[in-house]
Amino acid sequence: MRTNLRFRPVAVIGAGMTPFRRRMLDTPQELAWEASRRALDEAGLELRDVDCVVIGSAPDAFDGVHMKGEYLAHGAGGVRKPVSRVYVGGATGVMTAISAWYHVASGLCQKVLAVAEEKMSPGRPHPQSVFRYIWDPITEKPLNPNLIWIFAMEMHRYMNVNRVSKEDIALVSVKNKRNAKKNQYSQLGGDITVDDVLKSEVLVWPVQLLDVSPVSDGAAAMVLVSGDIARRYTDTPIWVEGVGWTLDNTSWPGRELAYPRYLENAARMAYKMAGIERPQKEIDVVEPYDPFDYKELHHLEGLLLAKKGEAPTLMREGFFDVDGEIPSSPSGGLLGVGNPIAAAGLMKTISIYWQLKGTAGGMQVKKSVHTGVAQAWGDLMQASTVIVMRN
Amino acid sequence: MGVGWYGFSPHVHDLSFREMMFEAASRAYYDAGGMDPRKDVDTFISCQEDFWEGISISDEFAPDPIGGAMRPTMTVAGDGLQGVAHGVMQITSGLADVVVVESHAKPSDIITFSDVVKLSEDPIYVRSAKVPNIHFVAALDATKFLSRGKATRADLAEVVSKNKSAGLSSSKAPYAARIDKDYVLSQDYVLTPFTRLDIAQPVDAAIVVVLASETVARRFSDTPIWIHGIGFATDSSNLELATLGEARYMRLAAERAYLMAGVESPLKFRGIFVDDRYSHKELEHLEALGITDVVEKLREGYFHPGSYLPVNPKGGLLAKGYPLEASGLSLLLDAVEYMREGEESAIVGSWRGFFTFTGSVAVMSR
């Protein structure tokens, strides 16, 4: 039931994904089209019915194409239509859905196709190489840092400030890979133990191989339409009730890394719009961004679903399990499904959409759900995007 | 509400792109009536592309120089006018009352400009052909346009002469020059049918525009410039399927903008600011904006400064240079200045350049 009367109603009526895999043979355009076609099929629409296309894709260097939005437009059905690409680094996936929301909410468009695609496999010698060029060219690049180093610093800081053990953090990886077993699109679902995580290869202490999501190729797409149109196509539209995003400053070394304050800002913006005053009581299911296992805990705190430093305890108690109080990452998250950056963020939004619609199949959580939140994170540990949906 | 810019120089050597953004933003906030971005702005939009910046995930650097840190800041990987369209949508959806749109370019930092442009070609069908000159699609487009039999090479030279001369009235046109048509025609071809004067040069610039809802605009300013309609569109982005010789993307964008603004005829406007990074593109884009008999009108002087419908009276991109993704904002900036000088209304039409087929149109009045 929609409760937000201030904004023009916008509903999700269809979504689709490609499987996430380490290396897909399809071109980026083909991946984008496969996801788009599936989303249109679920919505019962044809491409000619779509007014506008919003594309999300993270660094151009992954696919190796300059102006990647223009290149992807053809595959995303963006021919002779308003097409634009939005971008907030790793947080792009949810931003794509947010942008599609305001395309409809503004009245400019009635039916919008939101498409997110990432093909990381072309990166040589490894997709990590792309991250050699994300740094401040003067103060940081000469040090040649890589991304896992700085996340190791953040993980360390989070563990140190909140007195969290590696065992507690490993529980996230165990949970998400277990959840991903039931997701037909997943790349790395499976039963692992805390011991497996703790014995996996150390990349940069305290980050170990099974603490990290994999490199992936994949695409995801959603159809968002105005409220009156939604009723023509489905009896069960899922309403976008709140959106929020925040970018912190570029200077990550000067930031308190133990707590994502920028995410709290983004969450408060979305919650205020959706009329959520007590997140832990009012949110039924959540998909926090989990490229690393500690990030899910970090983000659950930033989303105000746990107090600072409390998320590991709740995780241990099963609060965030698929049959817990607030199931977290029922899709399997990035750790289990895979992490084609922008597509992974939209996958999280799609997971909440399917949960609220009741069509998540084996991933469907046990409790009945009415309010769900998806979140993504990116840039230099500085960006977060949040979307709240209700059925 | 406010506009600010810095640069419009072939080589800004004393400021980094972030410092240029800061300068442009400070001037825009001052121009908007002394706004404090930390308190008075709801959302921020930056328009940029990674490969132009030489930085992956370049939007990391968007928030600090424009006051957008710890605020809702996002990037539209596209032309600045597309960013304005996103800003308008954020305002009309009720999400924001004040939106800041920023775009910048520092092509003087790019050592291998042609190679970067080539990376925007389709990696399978076009890039592998290894065409050495990045202007080849523009030349094909111009040849097709000329083959329709209305325009001649002399008409393209007239566009160059008109715009470069008009640029002398602007404080931000480093490529302005008083040259006549014969001088242009006497130049050697770079690529048929273009001489080097027919092709606009890249330029360093940062531009910031402050947009506001009507309620807020009335509170801060007695003389706001209104955006009545805005549209953007992409034709087929695949070169082998795209339409050459006409600017369908601009026509689709104009249709949306005109519908939103209730425009009956573009001839009723007092100025048109349209992308002219290749001389023929000005005429092609004018056709797409719904103006008929553009060649005849050009020959009659209809589009010259002070005439019935001045086109690029501030010199266009041929005189100013094109600041990559800030090109649309550069044309919008001209339109704002033009209206602040007393003219009533203007249409702005931008394009992202080859290898794209994306354009945006804004309908504005004083």
Does A145 or B318 have the greater pLDDT score?
Answer: B318
**B74, B111, B240, B361, best to mutate vs chain A, most A CBs in 10 Å:** B74
ipTM attached to this prediction: 0.96
Query: What are residue A81's phi and psi, to 5 degrees?
Result: -140, 165
Residue length, chain B? 366
Rounded to an integer, the average pLDDT of B215-227 is 90
Mean pLDDT of chain B: 95
**Burial of B289 from C-beta contacts in 10 A (0-12 / 13-18 / 19+):** buried
Confidence of residue A4 (pLDDT cuts 50, 70, 90): low
B205: which strand partners?
B7, B105
Taking phi over 0 as left and psi of -120 to 50 as alpha, with beta for the rest, A336 belongs to: alpha
- Rounded CA separation A5/A3 (Å): 6
| Number of domain units in chain B | 1
Contacts of B74 in chain A (CB under 8 A): 86-88, 95, 99, 245, 247
pLDDT at B159 over 90: yes
Helices in A106-188 by DSSP H: which ranges? 147-162, 166-180
Q: Considering the domain boundaries, does residue B285 fall inside one?
A: yes
What's the CATH code of the domain at B207?
A: 3.40.47.10
- Three-class DSSP labels, A329-388: CCCCHHHHHCECHHHHHHHHHHHHHHHHHCCCHHHCCCCCCCEEEEEEEECCCCEEEEEE
Question: Which B residues in the span 123-152 are in contact with A, Cβ-Cβ below 8 Å?
Answer: 123-124
Q: Considering the domain boundaries, does residue B184 fall inside one?
A: no
Confidence of residue A292 (pLDDT cuts 50, 70, 90): very high
pLDDT score, position B129: 87
Question: Which A residues in the span 53-82 are in contact with B, Cβ-Cβ below 8 Å?
Answer: 58-61, 64-71, 73-74, 78-82
Q: Cβ contact (<8 Å) for B89 and A103?
A: yes
pLDDT tens readout for residues A52-94: 999 999 899 998 899 999 999 999 999 999 999 999 999 999 9
pLDDT tens readout for residues B6-21: 999 999 999 999 999 9
Q: Considering the domain boundaries, does residue B153 fall inside one?
A: no
CA angle B115, B117, B123 (to 5 degrees): 85
Confidence of residue B222 (pLDDT cuts 50, 70, 90): confident
Please give the model's pTM, rounded to 2 decimal places. Answer: 0.97
Q: Cβ contact (<8 Å) for A80 and B256?
A: no
Q: Considering the domain boundaries, does residue B15 fall inside one?
A: yes
Q: Considering the domain boundaries, does residue B139 fall inside one?
A: no
Cβ–Cβ < 8 Å for B56, A59: yes
pLDDT score, position B174: 97
Contacts of A70 in chain B (CB under 8 A): 120, 234, 237, 352, 355-358
Question: Looking at chain A, which residue has its C-alpha nearest residue B90?
Answer: A102
Q: Considering the domain boundaries, does residue B303 fall inside one?
A: yes
User: Which helix (H) or strand (E) covers residue A286, if one does?
Assistant: strand A285-287
Domains and CATH numbers, chain A: 10-125+213-390 (3.40.47.10)
List the domain range (segments joined by +) for residue B10.
Answer: 2-110+200-365
Question: Looking at chain A, which residue has its C-alpha nearest residue B117?
Answer: A66
pLDDT tens readout for residues B49-89: 999 999 999 999 999 999 999 999 999 999 999 999 999 99
Q: How many CB atoms lie within 10 A of CB B132?
A: 7
Question: Which A residues in the span 350-379 are in contact with B, Cβ-Cβ below 8 Å?
Answer: 378-379
Is A249 in the B-facing interface, judged by CB distances under 8 Å? yes
B326: which strand partners?
none
Query: What are residue A288's phi and psi, to 5 degrees?
Result: -80, 155
pLDDT score, position A5: 61
Is B88 in the A-facing interface, judged by CB distances under 8 Å? yes
The closest alpha carbon to A310, from A322, A298, A326, A292, belongs to A298
pLDDT at B125 over 90: no
pLDDT tens readout for residues A113-162: 999 999 999 988 888 888 888 998 888 889 888 889 999 999 999 999 99
CB pairs below 8 Å between A and B: how many?
A: 197
Rounded to an integer, the average pLDDT of B91-106 is 97
Q: Considering the domain boundaries, does residue B296 fall inside one?
A: yes
pLDDT at A286 over 70: yes
Question: Looking at chain B, which residue has its C-alpha nearest residue A61?
Answer: B56
CA distance B306 to chain A (A): 34
Q: Is the dihedral of CA A314, A381, A113, A63 positive or negative?
A: negative
Contacts of B63 in chain A (CB under 8 A): 247-250, 382
pLDDT score, position A132: 87
Q: Considering the domain boundaries, does residue B126 fall inside one?
A: no
pLDDT score, position A2: 47
Rounded to an integer, the average pLDDT of B192-197 is 96
pLDDT at B150 over 90: no
